[in-house]
Amino acid sequence: MVRKKKDDAQLTCTALLDAAEQVFFENGVAKTTLNDIAAAAGLTRGAIYWHFTDKADLLQAMFTRAMFPMESMLNELLQAANANPLVTLRNMCVQVLTNLAHSPEQQRVFNIMFHRCEHIGPMITVLENKRAKREECLAQVETALARAVAAGHLPPDTDVVLANQVISNFMAGTMSEWLFAPQSFDLATCAPGMVDMLIAGLQANPPRLAKSEPAAIARCAG
């Protein structure tokens, strides 16, 4: 009986997240009410409050669910200690873009994140959480780049902080621009070549430190 109640609660939570994803995408976050979400899920407003504090909490849970596969890939990147970190990083970037191209659910969520979420009022908390997650991702990728320097896959004077920012800008920009105009190019087909160009440029001419900084290599041990 307890297991059934837990299963029912999980099904309700999933239904609410699915409904929120659809309604936020169609109407934008600011114009969506909890009543809209409850109606789309075929549930009551009380069901929302059973699982979530408010609209911001529901939005955050929706983002967290969508980001979980990416976070798992980043964790795998750090655990692959014997692999070439640049190859692993390349494969992760391609996989993220390919998953986006093939997943309508991810397309809706990232469209909401990039184009349909007004960061005002209670939504400021969601923005702060997104920034915190971004910093976590940047730290993980920076560690991988530092390992690449230590392994000799990148020059010893590579500015891993700036290289990390370039990769982040490329990924966020590609995702946002494609979601804005998906007919402009076939993301799934183009992703490998685009990422390969990024990694090749990083290897051939990475951003350099003003002076050699041994600490950049030491960071790989973290």
* 145-167 tens-digit pLDDT: 999 999 999 999 999 999 999 99
Rounded-to-integer distance, Cα 181 and Cα 70, Å: 23
Instruction: Flag the least confident range among 43-57, 66-80, 81-95.
Output: 66-80
Express each pLDDT in 186-202 by its tens digit: 999 999 999 999 999 99
Instruction: Check residue 6 and give its pLDDT.
Output: 63
Q: Which residues, other chains included, contact 12 with Cβ-Cβ below 8 Å and sequence gap of 6+? A: 43, 47, 50, 51
**210 — pLDDT class (breaks 50, 70, 90):** confident
Domains and CATH numbers, the chain: 1-52 (1.10.10.60), 55-221 (1.10.357.10)
Establish how many alpha carbons lie within 13 A of residue 172's alpha carbon, considering only the half-sphere containing its beta carbon: 13
Give the pLDDT score at 171. 95
Contact 150, 220 (CB under 8 A): yes
Burial level of 132, CB count in 10 A (0-12/13-18/19+)?
Answer: exposed
Question: Quick one: average pLDDT of 26-47?
Answer: 93
Is the predicted pLDDT of residue 82 greater than 90, yes or no?
no
Does residue 64 register a pLDDT over 50?
yes
